[in-house]
Amino acid sequence: MEDSTEHHDILVIGAGLSGINTAHVLNERLPHRSYTILEAQSVIGGTWRFFRYPGFRSDSFMTAFGLSWYPWKHNHKMAQAGEIVDYLEEAVDAAGLRDKIRFRHKMLACEWRTDEQNWKIEVDADGQRKTFIANFVITCVGYYAYDKAFPTTIPGLKGFGGQVVHPQWWPEDLDYSGKRVIVIGSGATAITIVPSLAEKAGMVTMLQRSPSFVISRPTTSSLDSCLKSLLPFSLAYWLLYWKDVLSEVFSTQFLLNFPALGRKVLMGEMRKALPKDIDVNVHFNPRYNPFQQRLCMCPDEDFFKALHQDNCEIVTDTIETVTKDGILLKSGRKLEADIIVTATGLYFQLFGGIAPLVDGQPIQVGSHYAWRGCMVDSVPNMGFVMGYVTTSWTPGADIMAKTLISVIKEMEKTGSTSVMPVLDEKERSKPQKLPVSATSSYFVKAAERMPKVTDEGPWQIETGPLVRIGPNEVLSTDPVVLRNMSAARSAYSKGDFYSSGRIVPGVDNVVSERDEAKHKFMRAKMAPGYSYKENQGFGFEAGIDRQLLKFISLIDRKYLSTTSESRPLDLAEKTQFFALDVIGDVSFGEPFGYLTKDEDLFQYNEINASSLPVMNMVSVYTWLGRVVHRWPLSLLLPREEDHVGFGRLMGFARHFVRKRLAEGIATRKDMMQIHISNGMNEEELIQQAFISIIAGSNTTAHALRMTILSLITNPNAYRSLVAEIRKATSSVSNPISWARTQTLPYLQAVVREGLRMWPPVAGLGFKQVPPEGDTINGFFVPGGTQVGQGFYAVGRSRLVWGNDADVFRPERWLLADEDRLRDMIAAFDTHFGHGKYSCLGKSIALMEIHKAVFELFKRYDFSVLNVERPIKTQTSVFLFASDFWVTITRRDDEEK
């Protein structure tokens, strides 16, 4: 080999779909930087050129799978491999990328040299040895090896007398006409191959050890054709792109959040498409939940249609051994075969299988962490682009490419020559998981070769107090800025974000109303109902007490563990029950009955958990809310006639409000009556009641459960709180009064610290900059800009809380001097809003949390069951939790 050297700013490895898209992003966002693309093959296309097995095609709609900047122009939405290659060829020429690609350039080795601040890449360039020097390397070679299959042992396979074929190396001259073919596997490859083979083979048997979910998708759509004929192509394509992307998002969220219902729906669809003599429960009822592995897609039911043919069958069994003329199964059945196709998976690898060197030391990727899914800790100036695994690949690959280009732009801005994620030993000790959620064998068994990730992120990303997060959006983490935006005389107003708070299409409430005068008027009518002074002695404290005693009674009856019997309790669920019944009692004078029946009435919590991510998406992409609130999609919104979920509670709210209004003269003096007396009409009362249910229950329940978790995982705080409770017990009522909790400094510090670290509102609550603009943290921000509020970042700010901001330490509230305490309280209060936007229910929430923490820790000791992952949390508009399993025992001194 001859040796030569080339220098470039950036190297892109791979000219498949991801590499082509990355190059386009480079052209758009870094046009002044030099780059080239190294492609090992003699043509572009990657996977779509490499695989040659019958029927190879996309299993996602091309509107979502294709490149966002180069529309798919055909009417059919799922494409064969050859069509995808032609499409990519056209895209490369349209973007002027062909001259950037070096074909037959295979990467052999790569080393980062700190003294030179660059990568040295050794390449086999069509038989010549070449060296490329670059400051940054982006690998776009997918996640599997082209020259190696997933290793699987099939007993007796070497003794088979026929032909054994793996889909990765399909012989172009393979003649399977009239032959008996067994396809081993149940994944996407097997589902694709079977219908194609069944066209000519004598008999096709798909042999699976365990089933997969298979769904059919139509390759054409009358709606798509109609839009393309009526609208300009670019507009039609834009609408179709978002239709298909959002359809994937919503269906994925539905299946992930309602696995039992999702399984029922999927199996029902498969049952309708399959022959009547196939037992769906045996052959199509997977052991995993939907989207724990990718759903297998088939176009126009081709897989199911094949199974209707006499020459095609599916068998679910385990292989005993392969014989000379077939396969003997554990059940004793013998399958005869001329050809065996082993569609058993791919061999996972990153960076094209090359182990990067950093100053001569090899990096074993499996022992490192992934940052944002596209860089590995301790590896400078190198990223990898991968797409989504469980849905369409390309949107994920596009996000990764843009993230890496943003990193390079930040390097330019700061004058840096290198960048790499770094984490310390404490961060390395956090619980690990695979970077993909799929449970396919080839992913699970590749764990040692995959970078690790954690739910919390392996390192903190440090930014300034103002971060640009979109074309017209910035995020502020400065509590002073947050308070100023919401001050009574502030010229800021509510941003588009709040439009997502509408419950009834076209009707605003105190959350969604953006007109400042109307919002002020609404608050004036509502505020007295939330006043402790107005309600003292007969209002919401009495309601909280009633439900708190019911909560304690439920624990005593059903969930107290002893030395002889363990009774686990999901505290995530029970705190939600408690918060919901408090809202019912306080808002309506009647609890819903969650604590009494100890069950998820109306499936509210299940639907709540799945709806919050959708609410979050609508609050970010506000145009979605306008679309959803219009016919015909408005028909899908919750309705009062529903028997489950939000609709059922809306119906409950209307029934109760009408009953109270019909009473005429005020017969009770409670929150509802105060609202009525202050002029709120029926619709306003119903909307306010429903807002209280959603916002009041989610926020308070999460704050309570996270405070409890923080206490039971912090022995010092636990002991200090219990000591204060013991001293106070003899002189308090049962339950403790709100006034008395305010005399207990450590209890107050615990509640503040829990809320500081775990603000229950995760939505960004955008405020709109006034027309004249504003200067924020030294930056001029134009009028109309949406300014998000980073509540979580405020609660973890080292500038406010010190270097131990990530530590639950209630003592910080007791040891701070007067000036520092004032700043801490001001920052803490931003979690409840401020000024003209302050939370009306703040006093109720704080009362509820203080009382519950005191009474629970007065009586019980708590222990978590899953020490590795004590709770599962989900971030949406509000934070939601599940699987907070604990055992509760009565404390010894309480028994005495």
Over residues 470-479, the pLDDT tens digits come to 888 999 999 9
Q: Which helix (H) or strand (E) holds 546?
A: helix 540-554
Statement: residue 462 has pLDDT above 60: no
| Per-residue confidence band for 425, with pLDDT thresholds at 50, 70 and 90 | low
Statement: residue 454 has pLDDT above 60: no
What per-residue confidence (pLDDT) applies to 647? 67
Q: How many CB atoms lie within 10 A of CB 546?
A: 17
The helix-helix angle for 842-859 and 745-757 (nearest 10°) equals 120
What per-residue confidence (pLDDT) applies to 528? 80
- Per residue in 487-512, pLDDT (tens digit) is 999 999 999 888 877 777 677 888 88
**Closest alpha carbon to 146 in 310, 368, 348, 326:** 348
Strands (E), 516-579: 569-570
**Closest alpha carbon to 401 in 6, 7, 16:** 16
Statement: residue 628 has pLDDT above 90: no
Instruction: Kindly state the average pLDDT of the residues 868-873.
Output: 89
What per-residue confidence (pLDDT) applies to 443? 43
**Closest alpha carbon to 574 in 544, 554, 602:** 554
What distance in Å separates the CA atoms of residue 532 and residue 543, rounded to the nearest whole number? 13
Instruction: Kindly state the average pLDDT of the residues 848-859.
Output: 97
Statement: residue 124 has pLDDT above 80: yes
Statement: residue 809 has pLDDT above 50: yes
SS3 539: coil
| Contact yes or no for 67/17 (Cβ under 8 A) | yes
Strands (E), 644-778: 767-768, 774-776
Largest Cα–Cα separation, the chain: 98
**Closest alpha carbon to 91 in 73, 109, 117:** 73
Evaluate if pTM is beyond 0.95. no
Domains in the chain and their CATH numbers?
3-146+349-449 (3.50.50.60), 153-344 (3.50.50.60), 466-895 (1.10.630.10)
Q: Which helix (H) or strand (E) holds 376?
A: strand 375-376
What per-residue confidence (pLDDT) applies to 670? 66
State how far the alpha carbon of 762 is from the alpha carbons of 303, 574, 612, 619, in Å. Answer: 44, 22, 11, 11
What are the residues whose beta carbons fall under 8 Å from the beta carbon of 859, sequence distance 6 or more? Answer: 552, 890, 891, 894
What distance in Å separates the CA atoms of residue 92 and residue 43, rounded to the nearest whole number? 12
- Per residue in 685-708, pLDDT (tens digit) is 887 777 888 888 889 999 999 999
What per-residue confidence (pLDDT) applies to 603? 78
What per-residue confidence (pLDDT) applies to 118? 95
773: its two tokens: 């603009």
Residue showing tokens 């695994």: 389
What per-residue confidence (pLDDT) applies to 414? 83
Instruction: Kindly state the average pLDDT of the residues 856-883.
Output: 89
Statement: residue 666 has pLDDT above 70: no
What per-residue confidence (pLDDT) applies to 458? 40
Q: What residue type is assigned to position 517 of the chain?
A: A
Q: Which helix (H) or strand (E) holds 108?
A: strand 105-113
What per-residue confidence (pLDDT) applies to 664? 66
What per-residue confidence (pLDDT) applies to 459? 43
List the single range of 189-193, 297-301, 548-552, 729-733 with lowest mean pLDDT.
Answer: 729-733
SS3 497: helix
| Per-residue confidence band for 234, with pLDDT thresholds at 50, 70 and 90 | confident
**Regarding predicted confidence, which is higher, 254 or 738?**
738
What per-residue confidence (pLDDT) applies to 319? 96
What per-residue confidence (pLDDT) applies to 240? 86
Chain-centroid distance of CA 650 in Å reads 28
Q: Is 616 left (phi over 0), alpha (psi -120 to 50) or beta?
A: alpha
Burial class of residue 488 (count of CB atoms within 10 Å of its CB; 0-12, 13-18, 19+): exposed
What per-residue confidence (pLDDT) applies to 430? 54
| Contact yes or no for 451/365 (Cβ under 8 A) | yes
Q: Is 462 left (phi over 0), alpha (psi -120 to 50) or beta?
A: beta
Instruction: Kindly state the average pLDDT of the residues 343-369.
Output: 80
Q: What angle do CA 597, 601, 603 make, to 5 degrees?
A: 145
Statement: residue 374 has pLDDT above 80: yes
Q: Based on DSSP, count helices (H) and strands (E) in the chain, helices before strands.
A: 34, 35
549: its two tokens: 């005693």
Mean predicted lDDT score pLDDT of the chain: 86
50: its two tokens: 């490499």
Burial class of residue 226 (count of CB atoms within 10 Å of its CB; 0-12, 13-18, 19+): exposed
- What b-and-e string marks burial along 672-687, b requiring 16 or more CB atoms within 10 Å of the CB? bbbbbeeebeeebbbb
136: its two tokens: 């940054």
- Strands 375-376, 370-371: parallel, antiparallel or unpaired by DSSP? antiparallel
443: its two tokens: 């992913």
What distance in Å separates the CA atoms of residue 619 and residue 497, rounded to the nearest whole number? 5
705: its two tokens: 């459960």
Instruction: Please report the sign of the dihedral spanned by the C-alpha atoms of residue 3, residue 4, residue 7, residue 12.
Output: negative
Q: How many CB atoms lie within 10 A of CB 279?
A: 11
Strands (E), 240-348: 296-299, 312-316, 319-323, 326-329, 334-336, 339-342, 346-348
Statement: residue 1 has pLDDT above 70: no
What per-residue confidence (pLDDT) applies to 896? 42
What per-residue confidence (pLDDT) applies to 427? 55
Residue showing tokens 């100036």: 381
Q: N- to C-terminal Cα distance for the chain?
A: 86
Percent of the chain predicted with pLDDT > 70: 89
**Regarding predicted confidence, which is higher, 261 or 613?**
261
What distance in Å separates the CA atoms of residue 378 and residue 360, rounded to the nearest whole number? 13
What per-residue confidence (pLDDT) applies to 84? 94
Instruction: Kindly state the average pLDDT of the residues 343-356.
Output: 77
593: its two tokens: 């009955």
Q: What is the CA radius of gyration of the chain?
A: 31
What per-residue confidence (pLDDT) applies to 435? 47
What distance in Å separates the CA atoms of residue 835 and residue 494, rounded to the nearest whole number? 13
595: its two tokens: 């604590």
**Regarding predicted confidence, which is higher, 296 or 346?**
296
- Per residue in 171-214, pLDDT (tens digit) is 989 999 999 999 999 988 999 999 999 999 999 999 999 999 99
Statement: residue 151 has pLDDT above 80: no
What per-residue confidence (pLDDT) applies to 635? 58
**DSSP calls for 152-216:** ---TTGGG-SSEEE-GGG--TT---TT-EEEEE--SHHHHHHHHHHTTT-SEEEEEESS---EEE
**Regarding predicted confidence, which is higher, 709 or 469?**
709
What distance in Å separates the CA atoms of residue 746 and residue 742, rounded to the nearest whole number? 10
